[in-house]
Amino acid sequence: MEITGKNIVITGGGSGIGRALAYAFHDEGAAHITVADLNLAGAQETAAQIGGHAVRTDVSSEEEIQNLVAEAEKFGGPIDIFCSNAGIIDLDPDFDNPASAPDRLWQRALAVHVMAHVYAARAVLPSMQERKTGWFLNTASAAGLLSQIASGTYSTSKHAAIGFAESLAIAVKDSGIGVSVLCPQAVATPLAGTGDFHGGADVDGIITAADCARAAVVGLKAGHFIILPHPAVLGYMQAKSGNYDRWIGGMAKLRRGMKAARAALKV
C-alpha cells in the first residue's frame, strides 16, 4: 500500500505510536490525516503539526467510530487507510493470578483492543469493497503473538485482536483490500509508563515510537500482514509453534526472574 495521496484515519493519535504514525504518514505525502483520540487536546496537537484535523473519539463506542469515519470522509473523501491504534494496559492486581482483574477491566480491554477494530471494519469496509481498494492497519502487540506477563487482560485482548485481523485479511484477500497488524514489543510511549516494569516486553530493548512508525511504513509498503518492529519476535514465534511446552517453560522462567526483581524492589 502506497501512502502518498491517501486519506488516513489514526485512532490513539494524540500521543505515542499514533502520533508517530501521523508524522510518518505526513512525511510520506498523505493527502489528509484525521487524528482521533479520547484526549482531544493531544489529538489537536498532533493534527496541528501535520495540517490534519482532530476528532475526539472513544473507540469503544461504535457510534463514535461511525462519527469519526463521517468526519474523515467529509474532510478528505473516502478513507484509504484506517489505523486502529488506540490501546490501554492494566496490570493484574495479583501478580500470581491472571484472572484477578475485575470484569470492568476485562470488558474495557476487549472493547478497546477488539471491538474497536470490529467497529472500524463495519464502518469502512463497505466503501472499500465498493472501490476495491483500501487498507486496515491494526496495532496489536507482540503480546498478541507471544504473551504479556502480569496482564491477562492485555495479553488475551491482543491475541483476540490478531484473531480478528486474520479473519478480516482472509475475507478481503481477493477484493483488493489489505490488512496489516503492527506487533511491537516495548515502545517508549505513555502507555508503557508503568515504572520500570514492562512485563518482559523490554527483553529486546525499548524502541522509540518513531522507530515503530518507520517499521509500519515499511511493512505497509511491502504489504505484510504481520509487521514486527522488533525482528527477534519472529524467532520467538517460531520457537513457540515449534515446541509449545518448552516455550511455556521459558516464559515461566522469565516470570520467575521478574517476580524476584519485584520482590527485591519492595525490600
Bin 205: left if φ > 0, else alpha if -120 < ψ < 50, else beta. left
CA distances from residue 188 to 16, 21, 90, 206, 212 in whole angstroms, order as listed: 8, 14, 17, 6, 10
* Full strand arrangement of the beta sheet holding 134-139: 53-56, 32-37, 7-11, 81-84, 134-139, 177-182, 226-227
Q: Which of these, 87, 79, 189, lies nearest to 129 by C-alpha position? A: 79
Is 154 among the residues known to form the active site?
A: yes
Annotated catalytic residue, options 23, 119, 154, 236: 154
Q: What angle do helix axes 116-131 and 152-172 make, rounded to 10 degrees?
A: 10
In this structure, the number of other CB atoms found within 10 A of the CB of residue 61 comes to 15
Cite the active site residues.
Answer: 154
